[in-house]
Structures are given as structure tokens and as C-alpha cells.
Structure 1
Amino acid sequence: MSSHLLSIDSLSRDDIDHLVRVAARMEPIASRRKITRVLEGAVLGNLFFEASTRTRVSFHAAFSRLGGSVCDTTGFTFSSMAKGESLYDTSRVMSGYCDAIVMRHPDQGSVAEFAAATNVPVINAGDGPGEHPSQALLDFYTIDKEFALQGKTLRDAHVLMTGDLKYGRTVHSLIKLLSRYAPMRITLVAPPGLEMPNQLIERVSRQGLDVAVRESLAGDFSDVDVVYTTRIQKERFTAEMSEGFNLSRDFTVDRAFLDSRCGPATLVMHPLPRDSRPAANDLDIDLNGDPRLAIFRQTDNGIPVRMAIFATLLGVEERIDQDLRDVPWFVPDRLGVDDASF
């Protein structure tokens, strides 16, 4: 594994398998049964120049649960970039303060530019419509865990990706990652103008994925193992695209779609946030409490996966099992009132 995590392109299948194994060892810590201080004294710089709740807090929590401390900055307003500071200068300055850096930025390629100026490990937490490699890793970890519970394997799995496939950086990273585990079937369904980039489809097809493109969610999806749906990224639309855009209810993943067109064990995933406003036609809240809905198990899995990334980049993954003790505080058996086992 390279010294930074900027793209799925930098990870081999062996790297991914290693991170999955380390993440599994992090589960007792992530689920608040054990404590480790393996990164005690280390400092994380958490630099988010674009809105985030889950990713920012998840990285913060993951580093903290390894015993480290975190320095946060959010938005351009309170950063020196508002004064014209370059990515190069910001990178070099932060490298003097931090042992690892997580960065989100609205411009594609910006995190790679930032990382080029430092030898401190940098993790890409999203660069505009580019990539989101840690999200793809936690998505893959979720699929792997859920399949194990069902007695399934990844080989020849069928994944439906729907929603904003043009600007949705999570699907860009995930389809790259899944190509490492071909043969596998991928079906893509997107509203007009929001299709997966052709060059990405061509690339993963060459790597062994069987990719089919469909125009709608009508029809039979009973052989689909995973439905991965994404929010429409209106914040990345041009003014011309925004004018008059209205997402049809035909692209909504809800209980009716799942019950009538998918199989009884089809897993439903979403990188979140989902837009729960009725007119948004995003992943429907009528699936809340349904065990097929894996979105909160997905977010929970972000902690052990991001812990694994930190431990691997900083070279302490082999010390985890030597540095554990029991937690002394109360931890509920179920984190959410609607949590259900699948």
C-alpha cells in the first residue's frame, strides 16, 4: 500500500484484502467493547473544505478510538485558503503539525495536488466528483460481511447502481474496487444526463466486469444481490442543468420496488446523506426498520475500516491485539431504535 490513499487505483487486491482483515480486528474497538491507545500522541489534521457530517465525524472518531487526537477545520471561510494560500503551502504547513491528514475539497484532483507536497500520509475524503476511496472500502466491507451472513460469495455477484452516477464519486470508486473482484455483474440505471462516465465503464469492462446499462428501474431485478442508490448531486449541477431538473419517482428505491422487483434477500445500500424530502425521490424512508436496508450498518462499518486505514498507513496494525482493554462505560446493545438484524 502506498503512503497516501488518494484513489482506488493505488490499491491492489492484496491491499484491499489486508485492509478488510485489519478492519475485522478493529471491530471490538469500533463497537465499543475494547479500548486501544496505539496512536496515543499522534495528531490527525481533518481538513474539510466541503460539507460533511458522516465522513468528517467518522474519520475523527476512528482516529480517536485508536488513541490519537484530532484538529478539525471546516470550510474555506476560516482557513488561510480564503486569503489566497496555495494547496502546496497549506500542505507543507499542516505537515509540521500532523501525523496524518484527511482532506475533502470541492475540486477534482485537489487532494492529489495537496498530497504531492508532503510525506505525511494523506487520505482523500472526496475531491469533487472524483473519488471517495474510503467510502468504497467501507461499502465493500459491508457487502463482504452481509454476503458472509447469507452464505454468499463475491464471485458472480450482481450489483445494481442507480441514482447520480455522473457526479456521485462514491460509485466511481466502488465500481473500480469491484473490478478487482471480477467476474461480477454491474447494472447501471441513471436519470438522463447523470449516467456513469463512458471511459469508466469501458475501463472496468476491460478488467472483467459484465456491465449493463438500463434506462429505468422498471422490469425484473430479482437476481440483483445489492442495490446501491445515490443522492442526486445538485450542488455540482451547472445552471443549465439545474433549470427545470425534476427527478421522476420512477428512479426511487422504496419498499414497493424492493418487494415487487427484487429478491427477498436483496441488500439496499446508500452512501448517505439521503434526501428525505418527499419531492427529492431519493431512497425512501418507508424502508426504515426493514432488515434489507443496510445503510446504518454501512455507516457503522466506516469506523473499523477507517481505523484500519490509519493503522496501516501509520504502521501500527500489528500492535492492535497487544494493546486492548475493556471499556468501562455503558454501551447499548442496539444503537438505533429501528436497528434490525439481516
Structure 2
Amino acid sequence: MKHLVSINQLSAEQIIRILDRAALFEKNPNQRLLEGKVVATLFFEPSTRTRLSFETAVNRLSGRVIGFSDAATSSSSKGESLKDTISMVANYADVIVMRHFLEGAALYASELDRVPIVNAGDGANQHPSQTLLDLYSIRKTQGQLEGRTIALVGDLKYGRTVHSLIVGMAHFCPRFIFVSPPELRMPEECKDFCRQHDIPFTETSDFSPEVIQGVDILYMTRVQRERFVDLEEYERVKNVYVLNREMLTGCRDNLRILHPLPRVGEIALDVDDTPQAYYIQQAQNGLYTRQSILCEVLGIEP
């Protein structure tokens, strides 16, 4: 696998291989596997966890990092095309990790076929490295991926993490509950994907105790202000669902709460010290998963 552009391109066997390798890195994250390699991180859109975990992954594997975290500091601010940016950076790097605000940007960059491209998020489309760390977190907390019931809550219209998670879990017989306001419901193409792959799902706007008590994974998302053209619409829906500690009463013992972060108020602070809260560890798992991804596209085994 030269490029990681979409979770759709991965078979169940490839997913398990990446997760198994990530588990090895969790036991021993500091190795010299990328010694002599240069990884470029090109972030045309703001990021904290994704960028820092990729850069930490490179550093802990003894590689080097170049790139930018603000497109305003790059030649794209002067009007340079994405094609030229990728072509130039490929002269200096062995891998390019990129986040872009345009859907399809990572696919376009991969089609130039200069060096491996890892998609770190393209608009509201895909975020495959986040999906893989989510799958790693689900498997680690549940003991298996198969047969999990997962509630996806919040911004299901623009949330690239939930779109990708549906595809990634499709190999493992999941059941989904989609919880969102009508304005942010799951896109039809994602529901059609579930129907085509015989994945059972229900859709509701009611974030009820029955939802929380009936799932293994509660996947919370923030309402993404940056995706809204109409800010009045954002104001109407931004705080529609807030999870607090009291709402976890009667939940399953194995319930874990995931969130791609950052949170903006959809998980109250009193949830943080509950046994169900797993979003901080989930972010830490991103380090090991991204180490595995970099080795995957470079054909390196630990």
C-alpha cells in the first residue's frame, strides 16, 4: 500500500495488520525504523492532535519532519497550485502527510504518484488515520471489533470521522445508532452504504437514556463551526447534545466514550473521571497507529 487516502481502500486483513503493528509500537514506541527518512507534514487546515501525533510518530522512530502547520506561511498563499506544492515537497521528503480543506485533495495528490501520500483529513470527506486509531481504541477497550453497537452523536453531516468509521467498521458486523438534529443528520450516501453492506442502523434526534444504555461505544462529536456557511444555523445546533456524568447511570460495564477531539462543550467535565471516559487515551493511541501507518506506506516492518 503506497498511499493511504481513504479507509475504503483497506481490507479487513490490512486493517488488522495495521492495528497489530500499532500494538507492537505501544509496547515499544522508540525505535530507529525511520532513520534517514524525511516526512513532510503539510497542513492547509488547522490541526493539533493529528499533526503533533504524526510528528511525534516520526521523531520516536528516528525520522525527520519538515513542513508547515499554517498554509499562510507557505507558497500556496502566493497562489501556488496544490500540484506544484506536492511536486516540490516530494523532492525533499519520503512521505507526505497532508490535511486540506478541499474534499478529494489527498486523492489528487496521490495521483501525482511522486511519494506516498497519507490523508490527514480532506474537508468533510475522509480521515483514515483517525478511523484506524478509533478502531484500535474500540478493539483495545472491547477486546474485539466484531459485533459492537455504536452510537454516533452530534454532527453527522459534516463529520468526516464518523463517515470513515462506518466504512472501517463495515468488515466487523457492527450496529449503529445515528443521533443528530435534523440539520446534521447522516448523509444519504452513508446510509446507503450501510444498506448495501447489511449494516443495521437506526436514526433519531433523541439522545435518550435508552440510547446510552444500549451501546458499547458512545462516539461523541462536536458541531463544527468551520463547516457552516450560515452562522445562525450553527448557533441553533451547537449545544443540542451535552453528555454529563448523570446520563451514564445504568450504562453497560464495557461502555467507553470516544471523541475525535477537540471538544467544545458536548462532553461535560464531570465525565472525565468516570471509567467510561476514554477520549484522552484514544488520542494517545493515535501515536502508535500513525507509527504503524507510516511503516505501512513505506513497506517497513518493526
Please classify the TM superposition score into its range, dividing by the shorter chain length: over 0.9
Q: What pairs up with 1:6-85 in 2 under 5 angstroms?
A: 6-30=5-29, 35-85=30-80
Give 1:184-263 correspondences, 5 Å limit.
Answer: 184-221=174-211, 222-239=213-230, 242=233, 244-249=235-240, 251-260=241-250, 262-263=251-252
Q: 2:43, 2:193 → 1: CA distance?
A: 30
> Mapping of 1:327-338 within 5 angstroms?
none
**Ranges in structure 1 where 5+ consecutive residues have no aligned partner:** 277-281, 321-342
Percent sequence identity is 38
Which residue does 2:153 correspond to in 1? 162
Cα distance in 2 for partners of 1:114, 1:60 equals 20
Aligned partners of 1:91 and 1:118 also within 8 Å: no
Distance of 2:261 and 2:252 partners within structure 1: 23
Pairing partner for 1:289 from 273, 280, 300: 273
2: distance between equivalents of 1:244 and 1:274? 16
State the Cα distance separating 1:265 from its structure 2 match: 2.8
Partner Cα separation in structure 2 for residue 75 and residue 85 of structure 1: 15
3-state SS, counterpart of residue 220 of structure 1: helix
**CA distance in 2 between partners of 1:176 and 1:146 (Å):** 20
Amino acid paired to 2:168: L
How many angstroms does 1:167 deviate by?
0.7
Q: Is the 8 A contact 2:43 2:100 kept in 1?
A: yes
- Once the two structures are TM-superposed, the CA of residue 64 in structure 1 deviates from its matched residue by 1.1
Rounded Cα–Cα distance in structure 1 between residues aligned with 2:198 and 2:35: 43
Cα pair distance change 1:137/1:197, threshold 3 Å: same
Deviation string for 1:57-101 (max 9, x for gaps)?
A: 000001111110001302221111111111111111111000001
Q: Give the stretch that moved more between structures: 76-85 or 212-221.
A: 212-221
- Return the offset for 1:292: 0.9
Letter of the structure 1 residue corresponding to residue 25 of structure 2: M
Q: Give the Cα–Cα distance (whole angstroms) in 2 for the partners of residues 294 and 228 of structure 1.
A: 10
Residue 112 of structure 2: SS of its match in structure 1?
coil
The secondary structure found in structure 1 opposite 2:169 is: helix
* 1:330 matched residue in structure 2: none
Q: For residues 107-126 of structure 1, what are the structure 2 equivalents within 5 Å?
A: 107-126=102-121
Change (3 A) 1:82 1:207: same
Q: Which residue number in structure 1 is paired with residue 296 of structure 2?
A: 312
List runs of 5+ in structure 2 lacking aligned partners.
none
Q: Pick which of 115-124 and 54-63 moved more.
A: 115-124
SS in 1 for 2:71: coil
Deviation (angstroms), 1:291: 1.8
1:178 corresponds to 2:169: yes
Contact 1:227 1:266 in 2 (8 A): yes
Q: CA, structure 1 residues 248+79, in 2 after alignment: closer, same or farther (shift >3 Å)? A: closer
Compare the two structures and name the one with the higher helix fraction: 2
